Amino acid sequence: MNQNLAYNRVISRPLRWLYLTTTFFLMLTGFGQMPIFKRYYIADIPGLGWLAEFFVTHYIHYLGAIVLLALVTYIMADYFILKRKARRMTASGYIRVALLTGILISGGLLVVRNLTGTNFSPEFIIFLDVTHLGLVMLFLFASLYCLIRKKHWTTER
């Protein structure tokens, strides 16, 4: 059993911390796209002034998205190649994967929207903005629920 410990965890501890840090900064900088941190004094806290700088939070959000994309695809590929025989996804795992996929797709389309020369219709942009934020809120609540109820992404077969 101990020999299979690495297989029992779908991701190693350092990757887990990387995932948590990345998603934390993505949420922080994502909410920072709304003009709330200055209004509500968060940016007045020493060391957090950058949260009121929209181009800074935008850039960090992009960096976080790059790390998350690499991490998510690594974990998924690793699971399908190496670990699927030993472990299966739980229902809460499927829900979180679906939400995360939606967040990545809507976020990816917003990145495309921001490129010079792309001109999505205003209605589609509103749809993307609301979808991205809505899915993030759902993902946040789902993650908190799973943390409190100790629900794992995968379980032994």
Tokens 């209004």: give the residue.
39
5 touches other proteins by CB under 8 A:
no
In the chain the beta strands, taken as DSSP E runs, fall at 87-89, 154-156
Sign of CA dihedral 117, 120, 121, 122: negative
Nearer to other proteins, 4 or 73 (CB): 73
51 touches other proteins by CB under 8 A:
no
The least distance separating other proteins from the CB of residue 150, rounded to whole angstroms, comes to 27
Tell me if 99 sits within 8 A of 142, measured CB to CB. yes
Which one among 84, 113, 151, 152 touches other proteins, defined by CB under 8 A?
113
Which one among 6, 20, 45, 112 touches other proteins, defined by CB under 8 A?
112
The least distance separating other proteins from the CB of residue 149, rounded to whole angstroms, comes to 29
43 touches other proteins by CB under 8 A:
no
Tell me if 110 sits within 8 A of 129, measured CB to CB. yes
Among the residue ranges 18-26, 90-98, 106-114, 138-146, the one whose residues contact other proteins (CB under 8 A): 106-114
Which one among 50, 74, 141, 145 touches other proteins, defined by CB under 8 A?
74
Structure tokens given for 15:
């990757």
Angle of helix 54-78 versus helix 13-31 axis, rounded to 10 = 150
Tell me if 63 sits within 8 A of 128, measured CB to CB. no
Binding interface with other proteins (CB under 8 A): 33-36, 39-41, 54-55, 58-59, 62-63, 65-67, 69-78, 81-82, 108-109, 111-126, 128-129
